[in-house]
Amino acid sequence: MRVNGVAYRTVWMDGGAVKLIDQRLLPFRFKVVSLRTHQETAEAIRAMTVRGAGAIGVAAGYAMAQAARHAPARAFDRAMAEAAELLRGTRPTARNLFYSVERVLAGLPVGAPVAARRARAAAIAQAIADEDAARGRRIGALGQQLFRRGRSRVMTHCNAGWLAFADWGSALAPVYEAHHRGKRVSVWVMETRPRGQGARLTAWELGQEGVPYTVLADTAAGHVMRQGLVDFVIVGADRIAANGDVANKIGTYALAVLARAHRIPFYVAAPTTTIDLACPTGAEIPIEERGPDEVLRVSGPADDGRLAHVRVAADGAAARNWAFDVTPAAYLTGLLTERGLVAPGPRTIRALMRAPGRARPGAVRRALVHA
> Which residues form the catalytic set?
238
User: 187 - beta bridge partners?
Assistant: 154, 213
Bridge partners of 275, per DSSP, are 240
Round to whole Å and give the CA distance between 154 and 192.
16
Per the CB < 8 A criterion, the answer to whether 55 and 159 are in contact is no
Q: What's the DSSP call for residue 308?
A: E
One-letter identity of residue 230: V
Give the C-alpha separation, 206 to 317, whole Å. 35
Answer whether the bond into residue 194 is a cis peptide, omega within 30°. yes
Q: Which helix (H) or strand (E) holds 337?
A: strand 334-337
In angstroms, rounded to a whole number, what is the distance separating the alpha carbons of residues 183 and 141?
13
> Which amino acid is it at 358?
R
CA distance 194 to 202: 15
Nearest-Å Rg of the Cα atoms of the chain is: 20
